């Protein structure tokens, strides 16, 4: 199953909800949402800095990852950034593929 890194930044309403309900409740809600369509939350961490949450998740596919991102952002409590993660073996396969790419030439 494809793996993704999710970075979330809470809005003011999202921060208020975390303060009111706690971090464990937020992790459980995200886990439940992912499981509802066959995804899996591998890890979930709160952080200090540019993002408030870093999570690693497995989604059945990119459409499912996009659906989760849309649902979270539409609810108004957070903004997300989702990064596709690749294993070393997947990069090995990509490196073996022939690509008909012509770089631009300086004139």
Q: What is the pLDDT of residue 107?
A: 67
Q: Are 16 and 65 in contact (CB under 8 A)?
A: no
- Residue-wise pLDDT for 35-87, tens only, equals 998 999 999 999 999 999 999 999 999 999 999 999 999 999 999 999 999 99
Summarize the confidence of residues 12-38 as an average pLDDT. 95
Summarize the confidence of residues 6-35 as an average pLDDT. 96
How many structural domains are present in the chain? 1
User: What CATH number is attached to the domain comprising 54?
Assistant: 3.30.70.920
Structural domain range at position 26: 3-88
Mean pLDDT of the chain: 95
For residue 45, give the 3-state DSSP assignment.
Answer: strand
> Is residue 97 included in any domain, yes or no?
no
Angstrom CA distances, 16 to 10, 20, 22, 27, 31, stand at 9, 6, 10, 15, 20
> Is residue 107 included in any domain, yes or no?
no
> Is residue 13 included in any domain, yes or no?
yes
Of 84, 64, 62, 80, whose CA–CA distance to 72 is shortest? 80
pLDDT of 105 > 90? The answer is no
Residue 106 pLDDT grade (very low, low, confident, very high; cuts 50, 70, 90): confident
> Is residue 61 included in any domain, yes or no?
yes
């Amino acid at each position: 199953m494809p793996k993704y890194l999710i970075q979330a930044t809470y809005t003011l309403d999202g921060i208020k909800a975390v303060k009111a309900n706690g971090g464990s409740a937020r992790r459980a809600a995200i886990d439940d949402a992912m499981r509802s369509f066959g995804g899996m939350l591998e890890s979930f961490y709160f952080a200090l800095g540019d993002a408030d949450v870093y999570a690693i998740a497995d989604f059945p596919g990119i459409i499912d990852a996009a659906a989760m991102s849309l649902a979270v952002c539409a609810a108004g409590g957070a903004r997300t950034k989702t990064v596709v993660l690749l294993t070393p073996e997947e990069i090995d396969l990509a490196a073996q593929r022939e690509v008909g790419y012509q770089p631009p030439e300086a004139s």
